[in-house]
Amino acid sequence: MDLKVREDATAKDEPTSQTQPAPKQRSIEEILPQGTEYYCIVDASWKSPSEKIDIGWSLFSKEGIPRLQGNSAMESTNTSLEAEAMAMWSTIQQIHRYNYEKVAFLGDSMEIARSYAYIQEIKSLAANHEFSFHYVPRNFVSTVDQLAKKARINNQQYVIFWYN
């Protein structure tokens, strides 16, 4: 995983006072990972769980030349984070459909950027150890659900128990 991307995604915002100068805005060139050929700026508009979301995206060459753009109204989501995730997912599908590669996706949702960094790390670890992931019904996870609740209630640090 690109450590710089993860550090950028997980950096905490520092409170600023009026006496501190505003942080220097980074240019697109500074943000794009090496080897990127295109970048795609993605956003969602969310008002409430009962209203449709709207998404918009624009694809540019690394030199900043517009190549493609799209927008759509989509089914409602419960939260703005879900709307941002749906916008990213839908955009990635469109970019894939047109066979673009080496694309950096940019958006203003720090949570999406953090989530992507974690997912990339999970994928990397999983690939190195032949891990796989599968959905199971809720009743399969009842034991570990109780462990999670116990840790939350007791504000418990990580505990690992080895069975004999």
For residue 71, CA distances in Å to 26, 65, 117, 164 come to 26, 18, 26, 57
Residues 41, 116, 130: CA angle, nearest 5 degrees: 140
The string of pLDDT tens digits covering residues 5-16 is 445 544 544 444
Q: Whose CA is closest to 89, among 99, 150, 97?
A: 97
Q: Does the pLDDT of residue 25 top 60, yes or no? A: yes
The string of pLDDT tens digits covering residues 30-55 is 899 999 999 999 999 999 999 999 99
What's the CATH code, domain 3-8+28-137? 3.30.420.10
Residue carrying structure tokens 């970019």: 95
C-alpha span between 36 and 30 (Å, rounded): 12
The string of pLDDT tens digits covering residues 95-131 is 999 999 999 999 999 999 999 889 889 888 888 888 8
pTM higher than 0.75 for the full model? Answer: no
